[in-house]
């Protein structure tokens, strides 16, 4: 069962891609795969709807990206 869960999180799930759009951060697959399984699960499970949740998700994701990749996040261009 654990292997199945890991297989499901090898690629960025749709739910996380939607959250990435919401917070305005581009996360490359190679960077996603540098995250631990617990970090990936956290990004899947963490709420990202209210303004406060979006801010918290963005900050946590920025910190994770810096810690795991050693570089700053790439931001999406603002949508019109």
pLDDT computed for residue 35 by the predictor: 97
| Residue whose pair of structure tokens reads 């810096």 in the numeric block | 66
How does pLDDT run across 6-20, given as a tens digit for each residue? Answer: 568 999 999 999 999
pLDDT computed for residue 56 by the predictor: 98
CB of 73 closer than 8 Å to CB of 43: no
d(CA 59, CA 43): 12
pLDDT computed for residue 77 by the predictor: 85
Instruction: Give the residues of the chain that fall short of pLDDT 70.
Output: 1-7, 79-80
pLDDT computed for residue 1 by the predictor: 37
């Amino acid at each position: 069962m654990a292997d199945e869960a890991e297989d499901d999180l090898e690629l960025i799930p749709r739910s996380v891609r939607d959250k990435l759009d919401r917070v305005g951060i581009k996360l490359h697959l190679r960077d996603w795969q540098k995250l631990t399984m617990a970090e990936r699960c956290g990004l899947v499970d963490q709420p990202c709807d209210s303004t406060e949740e979006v801010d918290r998700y963005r900050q946590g994701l920025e910190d994770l990206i810096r810690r795991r990749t050693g570089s700053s996040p790439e931001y999406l261009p603002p949508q019109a």
